[in-house]
Amino acid sequence: MKIVKPLLVAAAVAAALSTASAAFAAGAEAVRPDAATSGFLAALNGQKGPGLETLSPAKARQVLVDAQNGAKVDLSGIEVSNRTIEQDGLSVPVTIVRPQGATGTLPVFMFFHGGGWILGDFPTHERLVRDLVVQSGAVAVFVNYTPSPEAHYPVAINQAYAATKWVAAHGAEIGVDGSRLAVVGNSVGGNMAAVVALMAKDKGGPAIRFQGLLWPVTDHNFNTGSYNAFQQGHFLTRPMMKWFWDAYTKNEAQRNEIYASPLRATTAQLKGLPPALIQVAQFDVLRDEGEAYGRKLDAAGVDATTTRYDGTIHDFGLLNALAEDAPTKAAMKAMANEIATRLK
C-alpha cells in the first residue's frame, strides 16, 4: 500500500462500477480482481509514494483517513454517541451506534476495528459499521482500543475483553440486551473478535452468541500460499503485515500465544466456541489463514462457515472506494443477516 490520492482512486473505481459484478456473479474463481477492484489497484499502484510501512504511525494513519474521505458514502440511518466504560481497572472509550429511531432494548455486537493495530478509528470504519447496524437492526459498540506502537500486546485485547464484559453486565445502561451479544471485527479486529470469544470461553464469560470475522488475522506466519501469491500489488502487502506485527509484539513467545494467534489453538481449546461466519478475500495475503481457522473451528465441532469472495482484495468491505461493489454489498448483507439471526 502506498500513499494514495484518494480522489483519483475514487474516480477510477466509479468508472469501473458498471461492470464490477461480472466476475463475482460468474461463480468460478476469478483470475484477476473484479473491475472495480482493478480500478482501485491501478490507481493505488500507479502512485510513486513510499510504502506505508516506511512511514511514521501518524502519517500512516492519515493515509487511511484520506483514502476513506476520498469517496462519498451513505452514513444515514444511525445515531452515534460516545462514553468511557470502566471494567477490571481499565478505562475504555467506546462509540455506540444505534439504528436511527429504534426504541426499546436491542441486541448488540462489539466491533473491533482493523488497521494493523496501528491505523483506524471510528470515522474510518463508520460506513462499514453503519451498514451492519442498519441491515441487522442491532446496536454496535465500537471499541476505541489503544493502538500500537503506543501500546503493545496484550493491552488492546485486554481492553477489548473488558469492554465486552462491561456490555454484557451493564447493557441496560446503553439500551441493549447484554445477553444477546456478538463479537465482530475486520482484519486485526477479526483477530480480536476471535480472541475475545476464546477469552470468554476460558474465563467463564460473558456468553457470546456469535463471532463475525471479516478477513481476519489468525496467525503470524508470513509464508502461506496466499502470502506468497499476493505479497505485493494487492493493497495489503507482506512488508506491511510484518510492520503491523512488529508494532503489536516482536516477542516470538507472545506471538505464539492463542490470544495473539488464535490459529495456534488446539481443537480442544476451540471446542465450545460460539458459531462463526468468516469472510475472506481471494486476492488477500490473509486468505489462507482465515480459511485455515474456519477449518480448525469446524474440526473442533464449532458451527463455522467460511465464505471466500472472489475478485476481491483485503478489506474490500471496509474501503469506501469499493462500498458499491457487488462483493462488498453481498458481504455486508450476509454478515448483517447472520448477526440478526444469531441475536434473535
Active-site residue numbers? 187, 284, 314
CA distance 309 to 335: 13
Cell of 152: 503493545
Cell of 102: 429504534
Cell of 235: 493493497
Burial environment of residue 276 by CB neighbours within 10 A (0 to 12, 13 to 18, 19 or more): buried
CA distance 27 to 108: 34
CB atoms within 10 A of CB 72: 10
Nearest Cα neighbor of 342 from 100, 132, 114 is 132
Looking at residue 117, the DSSP 8-state letter turns out to be: T
Burial environment of residue 271 by CB neighbours within 10 A (0 to 12, 13 to 18, 19 or more): middle
Whether the CB-CB separation of 321 and 13 falls below 8 Å is answered with yes
Can you name the residues that pair with 80 across neighbouring β-strands?
97
